[in-house]
Structure 1
Amino acid sequence: MTNDNMLTKKPILSPDRCFSPEPVQRRLAHQFFDSISALPLVCPHGHVDPALLANPAARFGSPTELFIIPDHYILRMLYSRGLSLQALGIATHDGLPAETDHRKIWQLFAEHFYLFQGTPSGLWLKDELTNVFGVDEPLNSRNAGRIYDYLEGLLALSEFSPRALFKRFNIEVLCTTDAASDNLENQRSLHEEGFTQIRPTFRPDAVVNLDAPGWRENLTKLESSVGREISTYATFIQALEERRAIFKKMGATATDQGAATPYTTRLSEHEAEAIFARALNGKLNPGDVEQFNGHIFMEMARMSVEDGLVMQMHCGVMRNHNSALFERFGSDKGGDIPLKIEWTQNLHPLLSAYGNDGRFRLIIFGMDESTYSREMAPLAGHYPTVLLGPPWWFHDSVNGMERYFNQVMETAGIYNTAGFNDDTRAFVSIPARHNVWRRVACNWLAGLVTRGLVDEEEGYDMTRALAYDLAKSAYKLD
């Protein structure tokens, strides 16, 4: 690296990454990838903070603030090998001191960078450092200071502002994930400037999950957003409907809801009202949370039929499994662990009510891979309203994508899937995540061609669909 920020060494990423060593398949994979590599990125579901883009003067901060502190993938790996979150700059709720020297945190990260070898995080990080910032050597303890200085210099430049990188990344549309009570001021200001390709997504979890941390405070925020008290279940549902309408006016095409399981059930108005009253009084009964969640899934489906918003369900994770860590540091610190779940019976009430209604669209995501071929693919391969979301979270990886393709495509076909979404809050990782998906998809399709299962022309069509078309169609972004 030179002082003028111009790097000359050969990039460290293999051009054959994610591709088969078998020469015919590899050649086809390269051809397929070349045919779609310049397509814009469609990002229909993610967690990028819209404030990053709403403020023209916004910057990412230090390299440590960009790569380490907000990334729960990074934190969980380092924590698993004995590093404290405080040493990584994460403050505790009880006020104990955390490291504030970002250069020192970066050095610690670099000394343990080897931990990410062979992981999706390692692949993304190498891609980001190489292709976004031009770093030409593997990060380690010896060069950590030089690379930190180099990155710090780039991050101060306007060419590396969030807005500049948004354009450079060739992002056609980016959907954020926003609380039901969010005023959407960031999206509104962006739209006034012409950035209408940044759209909100309605995420009601903080108020519909009755055991969510700070549920009563979250409900107060929802009351503020609708301008009135929410004292009954009926007024609660009306508030959600009103907020969905506001989101839709701001360009939203989808909702998103997360729960431990995809359990659905229809409660009577009296039953729902009674549970909501108990929640307001802080006296929930055992089973109330699951029953209410199951009922709200049904209500969200009904609302989607009426307003046309695509419904997403993310299920199969126990949040904050490490209770002690959650109590000290809060959520999104890497302590979430997958659960075994069931889809067929749990979704039966919802799909019996809405699964054949052409106005409804449901995209399902699950962490239990054992359900891919047994339940998820058959559901999507039958119901005209159901699509499969891409491999999620721990399975957003080369091996996870290959398992997904091999387990779901024979039954569901690619056109009953929703393409790819990056599902990230790490903005600069977006191109890397899409790049991995596109490469793995091209390699998988090249394998089908070499085995005579599809012809080469079909392979090109399927490549484009998986890289671009399916996501636009699934989320009604055409």
Structure 2
Amino acid sequence: MLYETIRDLPILSPHGHTVPEWFSQDRAFSDPADLLIVPDHYVFRMLYSQGIGLDRLGIGQPPEARDPRAIFRLLAENWHLFLGTPSRGWLDHTLREVFGIRETLSGATSDAIYDAIDAALATEAFRPRALLDRFGIEVLATTDAALDDLSAHAAFAASGQRCRLLPTFRPDAVLNPAAAAWAENMTRLGAMTGEDTATLSGYRAALRARRQHFIAHGATATDHAIDRLETVWLDDSVAQALLDQCLTGRADEAAQRQLHNHMLIEMAQMSVDDGLVMQLHAGSRRGTNAALADRYGPDMGADIPLPQNWVEGAHGLLNRVGNDPRLTLIAFTLDESVYARELAPMAGHWPALRLGPPWWFHDSPNGVRRYLDQVVETAGYYNLAGFNDDTRALMSIPARHDMWRRAVAAHLEDQMRAGYFGHADAERLAMWLATGAAQEAYRL
């Protein structure tokens, strides 16, 4: 069985959102609710959809104001709501494989399971660094703001741990003029680098300097979140005029978008020069529930997929640098309709382009099956970027990689049965898709 050949391979997690201070400080996690529910919008969005208010789940409250046992009981009493969802699979895996719990979660078993998890979290074996070793995580990348000093990464690197904790350069707050506090962040960027970010040349120099800071701390990639992908190259005079408008508050939404579209190509050109892999996560409209966004802030489970036009949207960027094999551009989409129609043919042509795995709403056994069925015939296997778990939930990392490996094995066995290739090729592809593709794509 192919799955058995890849099940226990080390985990490479080249893109995710865990908190670096967990690993630099290595403190015990506080309680089961804070670990499994409060920070995970995959979990609480389902509960919210059934009328359970976020206040009841401790969202937006300081830890001392929460009742973690009551929050956990809400999950347990509504466990049936998660049937059919990948969240159920990840949490089942966590309870069974990580905590050794065999009872089914329910209102009746809630307190006993809570106590078992709480007792485990108090032990050294469940400290963050011990879990990295136990899960077999060799590389773990976080996602970090461009202005982050990366002190947590430096402290972890100095601790001599086996796992490599890598930052990822996320410049949205200084790249997208529509971002909250963008002008203030530009001032901070200039002060941090000694560059005049009111000039296009100084802006470029400041971004290059921050990228080098990240590279010095081990970064291999950048990441960019975009609701609707558009890239257009502008002359310096036009870009400078837009920068002036944005910094002085005179830019309308169209001007802000135009500058951002241009700066994405600037980022790609910098990646050609410094070797950072560029990730584009396109197609999510953020914070569509205005009441939740106003009260609780971002990441409240109301981010919803948008349709994308990758052929037109990436045209400016790819025609500027897409023929250069020094660039690796990894594309992620929430619009599954573009897999076979656009992204697979594009990845099967452009030397710079690789396809990221199913993301967010499609990070599931069925999502992986649909993805592989739609992209392989046109892109092949070797234009894929493998798997990254893209999670902020540490306990779900092994569950997600196990899900990917099972789905890959099932797909390859189907291909063998159909006579497309034999067992030797399938074994090589299984190894490639489990670890090799991510290792190559992210230059690990």
State the TM-score, normalizing by the size of structure 1: 0.90
Deviations 1:168-193 (A, max 9, x none): 00011111111110101011111112
Q: Which of these residues, 37, 54, 59, is aligned with residue 7 of structure 2?
A: 37
Q: 1:78 aligns with which of 47, 53, 62?
A: 47
Name which of 368, 371, 384 aligns with 1:404.
371
Q: Which amino acid aligns with 2:144?
A: D
2:392 maps to a residue whose letter is R
Aligned to 1:8: none
Give percent identity, aligned residues only: 46
2:173 aligned partner: 206
User: 1:239 and 1:366, CA in 2 relative to 1: closer, same or farther beyond 3 A?
Assistant: same
Q: Deviations over 1:360-408 (max 9, x none)?
A: 1111001111100000000000111110000011000111111000000
Match for 1:60: what amino acid? F
The CA distance in 1 between the partners of 2:28 and 2:244, in whole Å, is 45
Measure the CA separation in 2 of the matches of 1:51 and 1:405: 35
Superposed displacement of residue 227, structure 1:
4.6
2:81 maps to 115
CA contact 1:354–1:360 (8 Å) conserved in 2: yes
Does residue 63 (structure 1) correspond to residue 32 (structure 2)? The answer is yes
Conservation of the 8 A alpha-carbon contact between 1:272 and 1:292 = yes
Equivalent residue runs for 1:164-183 within 5 Å: 164-183=130-149
1:334 correspondence with 2:301: yes
Q: Secondary structure at the match of 2:258?
A: helix
Q: Which residue of 1 aligns with 2:346?
A: 379
Q: Does 1:248 align with 2:218?
A: no
1:149 aligns with 2:115: yes
Structure 1 position 434 matched with structure 2 position 404 = no
- The offset of 1:358, in angstroms, is 2.0
Q: Aligned letter for 1:110?
A: A
Aligned counterpart in structure 1 of residue 267 of structure 2, from 300, 306, 320:
300
Write the letter of the residue equivalent to 1:263: E
CA distance in 2, matches of 1:217, 1:400: 40
CA distance in 1, matches of 2:335, 2:7: 31
> Which amino acid in structure 2 is aligned with residue 472 of structure 1?
Q
- Supply the distance in 2 between the matched residues of 1:233 and 1:320 (Cα, whole angstroms): 31
State the one-letter code of the partner of 1:75.
F
Shift in Å, 1:286: 3.5
Residue 284 of structure 2 corresponds to residue 314 of structure 1? no
Partners of 1:87 and 1:99 within 8 A in 2: no
Match of residue 20 from structure 1: none
**Separation in 2 of the partners of 1:352 and 1:306?**
17
Letter in 1 for 2:2: F
CA contact (8 A) 2:277 2:328 kept: yes
Maintained 8 Å contact 1:48/1:427: yes
Q: CA deviation at 1:419?
A: 0.2
Q: Which runs of 4+ in 1 moved over 4 A?
A: none
* Gap regions ≥5 residues in structure 1: 1-30
Cα pair 2:14 2:141 within 8 Å, conserved: yes
Shift of 1:99: 6.1
Deviation of the 1:460 alpha carbon: 0.7
In the other structure, the counterpart of 2:92 is 126
Larger deviation, residues 191-200 vs 159-168: 191-200
Q: CA deviation at 1:51?
A: 0.4
The reply on whether 1:238 has 2:235 as its aligned counterpart is no
| CA offset digits 1:197-238 (Å, max 9, x no partner) | 111111101111111123234334434432566333332221
Q: Secondary structure in 1 aligned to 2:84? A: coil
Counterpart Cα distance in 1 of 2:395 and 2:186: 33
* 8 A Cα contact 1:207 1:218, kept in partner: yes
Give me the whole-angstrom Cα distance separating, in 2, the residues matched to 1:116 and 1:98.
28
| Distance in 2 between residues matched to 1:82 and 1:237, nearest whole Å | 47
Tell whether the 8 Å contact from 2:177 to 2:257 is kept in structure 1 after alignment: no
Distance 1:104 1:369, change over 3 A: same
| Residue number in structure 2 paired with 1:10 | none
Deviation at 1:62, TM superposition (A): 0.4
Aligned equivalents of 2:330 and 2:253: distance in 1? 29
* 3-state secondary structure, aligned to 1:134: coil
SS in 1 for 2:33: helix
- The within-5 A match list for 1:181-192 is 181-192=147-158
* 1:110/1:221 CA distance change after superposition, 3 Å: farther
Q: 1:91 aligned to 52, 60, 64, which one?
A: 60
- Name stretches of at least 5 consecutive residues in structure 2 with no aligned partner: none
> Is 2:12–2:435's contact at 8 Å kept on the other side of the alignment?
yes
- The residue identity in structure 2 corresponding to 1:200 is P
Structure 2 distance, partners of 1:414, 1:367, is 20
Alpha-carbon contact 2:167-2:219 (below 8 Å) kept: yes
Q: What amino acid maps onto 1:150 in structure 2?
A: A
What is the CA–CA distance in structure 2 between the aligned matches of 1:279 and 1:324, rounded to whole Å? Answer: 27
1:14 match:
none
Matched-pair contact (CA < 8 Å) for 1:202–1:256? yes
Query: What SS does the aligned partner of 1:344 have?
Result: helix
**For the aligned residues, what is the CA RMSD?**
1.6
CA contact (8 A) 2:265 2:317 kept: yes
Count of equivalent residues: 443
TM-aligned CA distance change 1:286 to 1:173, over 3 Å: closer
Residue 275 of structure 1 aligns with which residue?
242
Aligned to 2:321: 354
Partner residue, 1:47: 17
Distance in 1 separating the partners of 2:186 and 2:56:
35
CA contact (8 A) 2:195 2:202 kept: no
SS of the residue corresponding to residue 345 of structure 1 reads helix
| Contact 1:230 1:236 survives alignment (8 Å) | yes
- Structure 2 letter corresponding to 1:404: Y
- Select between 97-106 and 432-441 the one with higher mean Cα deviation: 97-106
Deviations 1:305-347 (A, max 9, x none): 1111111111011011111110000001101000011011221
